């Protein structure tokens, strides 16, 4: 299937997403923050990047900006649990900065697999 890089500061989330994607037949690499994600991508460009927005080190928005600068057409799925009604939508900002798709946390297995599948066939 596809090679996917998952960048998320939470080890449990990375492990769950990795397991779900590997069960769907994908090859997955993980990074705990943006700098590590860029290093992985520098060695092998994935077909899809999944990134959280709030991480230690390089935050997800900066990571997204750097991915767009180096790999402008690379699909990036952004995840976050921190949008609040009535507040500026960080997921909306991610979309404006070039996110291919948005996925709210908590991540639901069927939604993750469906969203990844639709991005990969686009």
Q: Cis omega (within 30 of 0) on the bond before 106?
A: yes
User: DSSP class of residue 108?
Assistant: P
pLDDT value, residue 7: 97
pLDDT value, residue 82: 64
User: DSSP class of residue 46?
Assistant: -
Q: With the C-alpha atoms ordered 23, 28, 30, 35, is the resulting torsion angle positive or negative?
A: negative
Is the Cβ–Cβ distance between 53 and 59 less than 8 Å?
yes
Number of domains in the chain: 1
Per-residue model confidence as pLDDT tens for the chain (122 residues): 899 999 999 999 999 999 999 999 999 999 999 999 999 999 999 999 999 988 899 988 899 999 999 999 999 999 987 655 555 577 778 888 889 988 888 899 999 999 999 999 98
pLDDT value, residue 84: 54
pLDDT value, residue 54: 86
Return the CATH number at 45: 3.40.50.2300
Rounded Cα distance, 82 and 3, in Å: 27
pLDDT value, residue 24: 96
* Tokens at 18, concatenated: 């990795």
pTM of the prediction? 0.92
Residues for the chain: how many in total?
A: 122
Range of the domain at 52: 3-121
Q: CA separation (Å) from 11 to 16, 30, 87, 100?
A: 9, 9, 28, 24
pLDDT value, residue 36: 97
């Amino acid at each position: 299937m596809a090679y996917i890089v998952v960048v998320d500061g939470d080890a449990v989330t990375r492990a769950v997403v990795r397991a779900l994607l590997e069960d769907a037949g994908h090859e997955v690499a993980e990074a705990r923050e943006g700098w590590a994600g860029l290093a992985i991508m520098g060695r092998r460009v994935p077909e899809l990047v999944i990134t959280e927005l709030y991480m230690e080190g390089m935050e997800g928005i900066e990571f997204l900006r750097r991915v767009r600068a180096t790999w402008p057409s690379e699909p990036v799925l952004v995840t976050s649990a921190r949008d609040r009604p009535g507040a500026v939508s960080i997921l909306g900002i991610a979309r404006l900065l070039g996110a291919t798709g948005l996925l709210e946390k908590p991540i639901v297995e069927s939604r993750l697999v469906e969203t990844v599948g639709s991005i990969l066939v686009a």
